[in-house]
Amino acid sequence: MPPSQPGKNQVFFGTFIHAKKFGELEYLHNTAICVDVSGKIVAIEPNCNQQKAVETVYARLGWSLDTVAISVARDHRQFFFPGFIDTHVHAPQYPNIGVFGKSTLLDWLNKYTFPMEASLSSLPKARRVYTRCIRRTLAHGTTTAAYYATIDVNATNLLADLCFSMGQRAFVGRVCMDHLGPEYYIDESPDHALAATRATIDHIRSIDSNFEIVSPILTPRFAPACSVETMRGLSELQKQTQLPMQTHISENVNEVELVKELFPDSRSYADVYDTHGLLNEKMILAHAIHLTEEEADLIAERKAKIAHCPCSNSALTSGIARVRWLLGKGIQVGLGTDMSGGYSPSILEAARQAKLVSNHLAVPGGRSDDLSWEEREEAKLSVEEVLYLATRGGAQVLGLANKVGVFEVGKQWDAQLVDLGTVPDEVVEDDQAIHGNVDVFGWETWDERVAKWVFNGDDRNTKKVWVQGRLVHVQTYMY
């Protein structure tokens, strides 16, 4: 068991909001959720108050008051929400967020990304960067992250150690790139790439034998960076271990052209992964912007998943992924920050941008111009839909749908306490409160409050965060 459990049963009272299904939020008011010492939800009692919980639920569970810790979401401003799931994020690039200038993917990699990643073979620097990355994403309510690390085994192992000790559920991938990359930052050979990957798997198994909190994830950087031998070797390793995999696909038009040049015998970018045994239900593909109909059908058939990264796609001028089109083919989609292609560590920001870039698909003259008005309108995602992608969609993508993403008996308590504030009407001296950017007047419906949070909220609204029952972040006064 991770060194993380609270050692007490817990009860959470108040309003709980989660995605009941795609496009629909469920509001549970005056509810008690009971979480046992292992961090699992064992009872959900609607229409409840603390008194009733003590009398009935505790009795049913055999709990007594002194063995229970209580947390409460107060009044109309606070609610519990499932923790966010980041399905695509590069921890070593965290110092570069917001730093991309006018670059696009291939020059951005050479100018900003590879130098930073290579510099993290210095373990003190890696510790500093990874610690801040985890602290920052936890503060934004990210309870699960699928991380790319670097090619360095020791630094990758350090990232896994830090996720484990700080209590963030994580997939940690040692990056494989033996074919294309700068000479100061490249795997020597396919054998080296595979041996180094196995070394990180062994290390993570040594700290978390069942991969309960931290799991390895096989990580070919993207097709142009990997030799055929490395892709085949990773495919074999995946068959042996059943571990998840992650890579990039069809992010940028020049990248798609490069793949055509490098793999002239392949029918498409997706076909490169398929013919090398990497396209199956365990594969998470980031971006998927410029896919053809045939590629999307192949991905759907293989049941591979997609990490939609709207902040990154706008920042690097990559394009707009057609999320509704992907979902319509039955492909499971989650959200990714893609730091530092993406400029923000926040999945709430990714949800907001997923909504906004989907609106761009409906703009006349845009990508869907050959569609009818109704079809263009259909491309737009709603607040409820992007919040689904941020939680349950992400859980599906990472193979965690039976564990997290929703408040149900049997699921883990991976959650955040959200507080929508108000700005004081006048200056308050020595004001210790953190007011945030959302103003609630009190007359809003719950739907409206949630919409205000999605469009104006940030980490100031994230008061507390739990992973598997363990309190992993508490907002503190910082000024």
Give me the helices (H) in 110-227, please.
114-119, 123-139, 153-166, 190-207
Tell me whether residue 338 or residue 419 sits nearer to Zn ion (CB atom).
338
Instruction: Kindly state the smallest distance separating residue 352's Cβ from Zn ion, in Å.
Output: 19
Angstrom distance (rounded) from CA 120 to CA 149: 9
H/E stretch holding 455: helix 446-456
Angstrom distance (rounded) from CA 113 to CA 462: 30
Instruction: Kindly state the smallest distance separating residue 244's Cβ from Zn ion, in Å.
Output: 15
Instruction: Kindly state the smallest distance separating residue 222's Cβ from Zn ion, in Å.
Output: 8
Per-residue x/- mask for Zn ion, residues 318 to 357, rule CB under 5 A? --------------------x-------------------
Tell me whether residue 338 or residue 459 sits nearer to Zn ion (CB atom).
338
Tell me whether residue 175 or residue 467 sits nearer to Zn ion (CB atom).
175
Instruction: Kindly state the smallest distance separating residue 234's Cβ from Zn ion, in Å.
Output: 17
Give me the helices (H) in 331-427, please.
347-361, 373-379, 383-388, 394-397
Instruction: Kindly state the smallest distance separating residue 161's Cβ from Zn ion, in Å.
Output: 23
Q: CA-CA distances (angstroms) from residue 356 to 105, 132, 303? A: 22, 28, 27
Q: Give the CB-nearest residue to Zn ion.
A: 338
Strands 142-148 and 169-173: parallel
Instruction: Kindly state the smallest distance separating residue 90's Cβ from Zn ion, in Å.
Output: 6
Contact by Cβ (8 Å): 133, 91 = yes
State the amino acid at position 185 in one-letter form: Y
Tell me whether residue 338 or residue 414 sits nearer to Zn ion (CB atom).
338
Tell me whether residue 349 or residue 414 sits nearer to Zn ion (CB atom).
349
Instruction: Kindly state the smallest distance separating residue 247's Cβ from Zn ion, in Å.
Output: 9
Tell me whether residue 226 or residue 417 sits nearer to Zn ion (CB atom).
226
Window 401 to 420, contacts with Zn ion (CB under 5 A): none
State the amino acid at position 342 in one-letter form: G
Instruction: Kindly state the smallest distance separating residue 399's Cβ from Zn ion, in Å.
Output: 19
> Using alpha carbons only, what angle is made at residue 167 by residues 402 and 383, rounded to the nearest 5 degrees?
55
Window 198 to 217, contacts with Zn ion (CB under 5 A): none
Contact by Cβ (8 Å): 46, 31 = yes
The neighbouring-strand residues paired with 68 are 9
Strand order across the beta sheet in which 245-249 lies? 245-249, 283-287, 305-308, 333-335
Instruction: Kindly state the smallest distance separating residue 438's Cβ from Zn ion, in Å.
Output: 30
Instruction: Kindly state the smallest distance separating residue 251's Cβ from Zn ion, in Å.
Output: 8
Tell me whether residue 11 or residue 118 sits nearer to Zn ion (CB atom).
118
Cα 248–chain centre separation: 15
Strands 470-474 and 462-467: antiparallel
Query: DSSP E strands: which ranges in 233-391?
Result: 245-249, 283-287, 305-308, 333-335
**C-alpha closest to that of 336 among 324, 345, 327, 325:** 345
Tell me whether residue 41 or residue 397 sits nearer to Zn ion (CB atom).
397
Tell me whether residue 10 or residue 247 sits nearer to Zn ion (CB atom).
247
**C-alpha closest to that of 341 among 148, 97, 150, 87:** 97
Counting contacts by CB under 5 A, is residue 86 touching Zn ion? no
Size of the site for Zn ion (CB under 5 A): 1
Tokens of 29: 């008011």
Tell me whether residue 79 or residue 147 sits nearer to Zn ion (CB atom).
147
Site residues for Zn ion per CB under 5 A: 338
